[in-house]
Structure 1
Amino acid sequence: MLLSPTMPANTPASTFGAFIFADRRNRLLLAIAVATAAIKMLVFKHFFPYLDFTSDTGSYMQTALQNLDHNIWPIGYSKFLWLFHQVSHSETALAVLQLTLLEVSAWFFYFSIVYIFRPDSYFRYGFYAFLLINPLFPFLSNYFISDAVFLSLGLTWITLLLWMLHKPTTLILVLHGLVLGLAFTIRYNALFYPFVALIPILLSRYKVWQKIMALLLPMALIASFVLFIRQRSYEHAGVREFSVFSGWQMMNNSMYMLQYRKLDSTDVPPKFAVMHKLVYHYCDNLRRSEKKKHVWDGSVFMWDNEAPQKSMLRDYWVTNKDKDAYTAWAALAPLFRSYGEYTIQKYPWDFARYYLLENAKLYMLPEPEVLNAYNRPYMGSDLNNVSAFFRDGKKEKPESKYNDLQSTLMALFPSLIVICHLLFLEETIRYLIKKGIRKSSRKFNIALLLCWTFILINFAFSVLAAPIVLRYQVLLIVLLLGYTLLLTEVTDMPATSPEEAELEEERLMLGV
Structure 2
Amino acid sequence: MMRMQKHYRYFCLAGFTMLIQFTIFKYFYPFPNFMQDSYNYLRSAYENIDANLWPVGYSKLIRFVGFFTHSATVLVFVQYFFYHLCALYFFFTVLDLRETSRWVRGIIFAFLFLNPAILYLSNYITSDVYFIGISLVWISQLFRLVYEPSRWLLLAHLVVLILAYTVRYHALIYPLISVTALVFCQFSVRVKVGSILLIIALIAGFMFYTTSQTEKVMGTRQFSAFSGWQMANNAVYAYAHMPERPPLKVPERFGAVHHRVTAYLDSLQHIPMARRPDGPLMAFYLWDPYSPLQPVAGAVNIADNKVHLQQMAAVASLYNDYGKYLISEYPWAYFRYYLLPNFFQYAYPPSENLVVYNDGRDTVWRVAQSWFHYSANKVFTRSDTKEMALFGYYPLLMVLIIFLFVSGWIAYYVVGGPSFAELRFRYALRLGTFYWIVHYGFSVLASPVVLRYQLFNMILGVTFGVLLWELVLRSLFANREQ
Query: Following superposition of structure 1 onto structure 2, how do residues 2-151 of structure 1 map, counting pairs within 5 Å?
Result: 23-151=4-132
CA distance in 2, matches of 1:492, 1:246: 46
2:173–2:438 contact (8 Å) kept in structure 1: yes
Q: Distance in 2 between matches of 1:184 and 1:396?
A: 35
Residue 252 (structure 2) aligns with:
270
Offset of residue 179 of structure 1: 0.7
CA distance in structure 2 between the aligned counterparts of 1:262 and 1:287, rounded to whole angstroms: 11
Q: Deviations over 1:422-471 (max 9, x none)?
A: 01111111100100000112322121111111111111111111231111
Superposition map of 1:394-409 within 5 A: 394=376, 396-408=378-390
Provide closer, same or farther for how the CA distance between residues 450 and 221 of structure 1 changes in structure 2, counting only shifts above 3 A.
same
Q: Give 1:112 deviation, angstroms.
A: 1.4
Q: TM-score, normalising length from structure 2?
A: 0.91
C-alpha separation between the residues in 2 aligned to 1:78 and 1:161?
Answer: 27
Q: Is the 8 A contact 1:122 1:486 kept in 2?
A: no
Amino acid at match of 1:439: F
Question: How is 1:407-486 mapped onto 2 (pairs within 5 angstroms)?
Answer: 407-408=389-390, 410-486=391-467
Q: Deviation digits for residues 130-173 of structure 1, max 9, x if unmatched?
A: 33421122111101111111110011101101111120111111
Deviates more, 1:482-491 or 1:301-310: 301-310
What SS is found at the alignment partner of 1:99? helix
SS in 2 for 1:89: coil
CA distance in 2, matches of 1:40, 1:329: 40
- Tell me the distance in 2 between the aligned counterparts of 1:373 and 1:300: 18
Contact kept, 8 Å, 1:37 with 1:132, in 2: the verdict is yes
Q: Which residue of 1 aligns with 2:339?
A: 356
Equivalent residue number for residue 272 of structure 2: 290
In structure 1, the residue corresponding to 2:396 is in which secondary structure? helix
Could you say what secondary structure the match of 2:449 adopts?
A: coil
Code of the aligned partner of 2:253: K
Structure 2 vs 1, CA of residues 108 and 266 (structure 1 numbering), >3 Å: closer, same or farther? closer
Q: Provide, for residues 356-393 of structure 1, a one-character-per-residue CA deviation record: whole Å limited to 9, x for no partner.
A: 01111211111111110111672743x11223211336
Q: Larger relative contact order (C-alpha < 8 A, sep ≥ 6)? A: 1
8 Å CA contact retained: 1:424, 1:483: yes
Q: CA contact under 8 A between 2:291 and 2:297: conserved in structure 1?
A: no
RMSD: 2.3
Q: Map residues 100-499 of structure 1 onto 2, 5 A cutoff.
A: 100-259=81-240, 260=242, 262-263=244-245, 266-291=248-273, 292=276, 296-310=280-294, 312-313=295-296, 324-375=307-358, 378=361, 380-381=363-364, 383-392=365-374, 394=376, 396-408=378-390, 410-494=391-475
Task: Assess if the C-alpha contact under 8 Å between 1:47 and 1:402 holds in 2.
Answer: no
Q: How many positions carry a matched residue from both structures? A: 468
User: Percent of counterpart pairs with the same letter?
Assistant: 31
- Aligned AA (1:425): V
Q: CA deviation at 1:223?
A: 1.6
Give the direction of change, closer, same or farther, for the CA distance of 1:152–1:19 in structure 2 (3 Å limit).
farther
For 1:198 and 1:174, how far apart are their aligned partners in 2?
13
Moved more, 297-306 or 59-68: 297-306
Tell me the CA shift for residue 235 of structure 1.
2.5
- More divergent stretch after superposition (291-300 vs 231-240): 291-300
Which SS does the other structure have where 1:467 is aligned? coil
Distance in structure 2 (CA, Å) of the matches to 1:265 and 1:216: 49
- Counterpart CA distance in 2 for 1:385 and 1:133 is 32
Once residues 294 and 490 of structure 1 are traced to their aligned partners in structure 2, the CA distance between those partners, rounded to angstroms, is: 46
- Tell me which amino acid in the other structure corresponds to 1:283: L
Separation in 2, partners of 1:304, 1:34:
41
Query: Aligned pair in 2 of structure 1 residues 393, 65: CA closer, same or farther (>3 Å)?
Result: farther
TM-score, normalized by length of structure 1? 0.86
**AA in 2 matched with 1:307:** S
Shift of 1:102: 0.7
